[in-house]
Structure 1
Amino acid sequence: MGINQLQVVAIDHLVLRTANLEAMLQFYMDVLGCRLERENTELGLYQLRAGTGLIDLITVDGELGKQGGPAPGPQGNNLDHLCLQIEPETEADILAFLKAQGQPVEGFEERYGAQGFGRSLYLQDPDGNTVELRCHQYS
């Protein structure tokens, strides 16, 4: 019989290439609360758990990273942005936490995402990738 359409239910993973592994691990683990789930140093692969999904960091000088060309930089990031759903907190608490972590951020704005319209903010990781944070909306 087969299927008529695929149904995407969540982001599974996304891969970011980096020439700055330590700063990227610090940002995603210490600032955003991800945890290192797996690593394969031979491949230059570091997999971070982000809720139900993964963020894979690959080093540009590792086996996998060499396949992607030059390192990310101001003229050519490998990602437009990634949006992470986070546990609900007040906007003031989120802003205060990010500022305490030394992250330059502006205020929240209303945007459309996987759960419809909601308030979110943008920040930059150490390689210049844009990360959007929005609070998860429970139904």
Structure 2
Amino acid sequence: MLTIIGIDHIVLRTDKLTQMVHFYCDILGCTLERETDPAIGLTQLRAGNALIDIVNIHSELGGKGGATPTDKDNNLDHFCLQLKSISEDAIRQHFLNHSIKLGTFERRYGAQGFGQSVYLTDPQGNTVELRSEIQ
């Protein structure tokens, strides 16, 4: 059984990177955690024990999510749930038992630093990332 212990991060897509960083840092009190090469397009902000990832839609990462976000088109790329420590095999078996397809476990950066995570899709088509201290 999986045990969620918190939200690791959310990913927001934008074509207003400077304004978004200003809003989340200068107005809401987040701090700049990490920036990737502008061509990749990821800016990570610390929000308590979680991260808010801001992805420029004109970058490599942002281009994967479609057109510019509008009032009708979503800007949420995915969210990540932090799990209690569990093995990759146990995670795979859990979702196999529910006939849910998982992506590939990969090393990614999140609120707790680098670690293994995997993507799946919920019934509405939203992307969910699961992250755990893999046993």
TM-score (norm 1): 0.52
Q: 2:42 aligns with which of 41, 45, 51?
A: 45
> Which consecutive residues of structure 2, in runs of 5 or more, have no partner in the other structure?
80-135
Task: Specify the alignment match of 1:8 in structure 2.
Answer: 4
Q: Tell me if structure 1 keeps the 8 A contact 2:9–2:52.
A: yes
Alignment: residue pair count: 76
Please report how far the alpha carbon of residue 20 of structure 1 lies from its aligned counterpart in structure 2 after TM superposition. Answer: 0.5
Measure, in 2, the Cα distance between the counterparts of 1:68 and 1:77.
9
Measure, in 1, the Cα distance between the counterparts of 2:58 and 2:73.
17
Matched, 1:34 2:30: yes
Task: Specify the alignment match of 1:17 in structure 2.
Answer: 13
Compare relative contact order (CA 8 Å, sep 6+) and give the higher one, 1 or 2. 2
Task: Specify the alignment match of 1:90 in structure 2.
Answer: none
> Within 5 Å, which residues of 2 pair with 1:1-139?
5-40=1-36, 41-79=38-76
TM-score (norm 2): 0.54
Code of the aligned partner of 2:7: I
Per the alignment, in what secondary structure is the counterpart of residue 23 of structure 2? helix
Measure, in 1, the Cα distance between the counterparts of 2:75 and 2:43.
17
Q: Which runs of 4+ in 1 moved over 2 A?
A: none
Q: Higher strand proportion, which one?
A: 2
Encode CA deviations 1:72-107: one digit per residue, 9 max, x unaligned: 11121234xx9xxxxxxxxxxxxxxxxxxxxxxxxx
Q: Which has the larger radius of gyration?
A: 1
